[in-house]
Amino acid sequence: MTEFLEAANTSPVGGSAAVSTALAEELLGLVQAVEGVHSVYPAQPLWQSIAGAALAAVTGEKLPLIGLVETGDTLAVKVRIGVSASHPAPAVTRKAAGAIRRHLLPRAAVVEISVVQLGS
């Protein structure tokens, strides 16, 4: 699900990897707290990021679970989740996207959440 929310950009993330990493961690906590989310997977599927996976294997770094890309005044957020079978995936996805958008206000954000696994 991708939804666009217009807002003023008053808290830029770009420029600092530490700030970007801290924001990704905050957003990860928000997503994990949504009822029905049982897993969060790397934002970029392994088959789409062979170079990134190879680098991660060599350096020991984990692939990011929350993808953040700043384009102009908009922050794009990409998340891939697993949803438990007892919760409807569309509702869980909407709750997670809403939590992210509320956290980022008043910043403009495009939130993309993909359900990549159903059941626990």
Mean pLDDT for 26-39 is 98
- At residue 70, what are phi and psi to the nearest 5 degrees? -100, 125
- How do beta strands 74-83 and 108-118 pair? parallel
- Please give, one letter per residue, the 3-state secondary structure of 56-93: HHHHCCCCCCEEEEEECCEEEEEEEEEECCCCCHHHHH
Question: What domains are defined for the chain?
Answer: 2-118 (3.30.70.1350)
Average pLDDT rounded to a whole number, residues 8-37: 78
Q: How sure is the predictor about 64, in pLDDT bands with cuts at 50, 70 and 90? A: confident
pTM: 0.76
Q: What average pLDDT does the chain have?
A: 83
Mean pLDDT of 12-41: 86
Q: What is the pLDDT of residue 46?
A: 65
